[in-house]
């Protein structure tokens, strides 16, 4: 395993103001995209709902997380859950926010090679491996939280990952169409593909990791590490 283990440890501190202007911003965890400034009581209610949903996943798996079950576990009306999250996909997506924020903190300000301080090629290799292992750890939740492609690709967390890959590619291949190349690389890290390969095809993680390193080498026209 070349880069496994990036997702362990506590959440790093929030990024400071010296990041480049085109760097992806950390997600604002604890609020939805349409409610950036929740009142204290609303924030507590939201945290209680997410805690109840997390307990249901631990006890019954992702299939046990319904709006009705979360409302019952949190001792609130079902309408409260719908008002806070919109639908089941919104609820499940909110559960992924902390992990998404931690990953962003790791690649924005964590230690190299995933974080700053390593060459962009090394950071790109490390990024893909970190996403692979994060996805495998949360595969059922990620699949259940996936919306239709139009919504999925425009989600702020996905945009942040794409921006990060694009910034790294521009440092490696300044004359390439790095935006489209970023889409291509991220397609390899799609949870549905990872589910198919690991659970339906039985592909070991070591092979997926090596495949990512090989793909990066071919896309960037560089030699894979020895």
Tens-place pLDDT, residues 10-20: 323 333 333 34
Q: Is 89 left (phi over 0), alpha (psi -120 to 50) or beta?
A: alpha
- Cα distance between residue 91 and residue 133, in whole Å: 23
For residue 197, pLDDT over 70 is answered with: yes
Between 220 and 47, residue with greater pLDDT: 220
Query: What pTM was estimated for this model as a whole?
Result: 0.72
Q: How confident is the model at residue 128 (pLDDT cuts 50, 70, 90)?
A: very high
pLDDT tens figures, 72-127: 999 999 999 999 999 988 888 888 887 788 899 999 999 999 999 999 999 999 99
Show the domains of the chain with their CATH numbers. 87-220 (1.10.357)
Axis crossing angle, helix 40-60 with helix 88-109, rounded to the nearest 10: 100
The pLDDT of residue 6 is above 50: no
Averaged pLDDT for residues 44-55? 87
pLDDT of the residue at 217: 97
> Average pLDDT in the 158-170 region?
95
Distance CA 54, CA 16 (A): 30
Taking the C-alpha atoms of residue 80 and residue 78, their distance in angstroms, rounded to an integer, is 5
Q: Residue 1 pLDDT > 50, yes or no?
A: no
């Amino acid at each position: 395993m070349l880069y496994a283990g990036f997702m362990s440890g506590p959440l790093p501190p929030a990024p400071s103001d010296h990041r480049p202007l085109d760097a992806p911003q950390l997600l604002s965890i604890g609020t939805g995209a349409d409610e950036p400034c929740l009142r204290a009581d609303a924030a507590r209610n939201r945290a209680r709902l997410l805690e109840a949903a997390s307990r249901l996943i631990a006890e019954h798996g992702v299939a046990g997380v319904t709006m009705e079950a979360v409302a019952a576990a949190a001792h609130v009306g079902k309408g409260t859950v719908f008002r806070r999250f919109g639908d089941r996909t919104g609820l499940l997506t909110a559960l992924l926010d902390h992990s998404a924020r931690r990953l962003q903190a790791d690649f924005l300000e964590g230690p190299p090679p995933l974080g700053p301080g390593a060459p962009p090629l090394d950071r790109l290799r490390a990024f893909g491996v970190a996403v692979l292992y994060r996805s495998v750890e949360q595969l059922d939740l990620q699949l259940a939280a996936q919306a239709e492609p139009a919504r999925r690709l425009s989600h702020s967390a996905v945009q942040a990952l794409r921006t990060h890959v694009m910034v790294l590619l521009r440092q490696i291949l300044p004359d390439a169409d790095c935006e489209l190349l970023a889409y291509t690389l991220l397609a390899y890290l799609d949870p549905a593909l990872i589910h198919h390969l690991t659970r339906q095809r039985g592909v070991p993680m070591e092979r997926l990791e090596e495949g990512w390193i090989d793909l990066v080498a071919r896309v960037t026209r560089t030699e894979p590490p020895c």
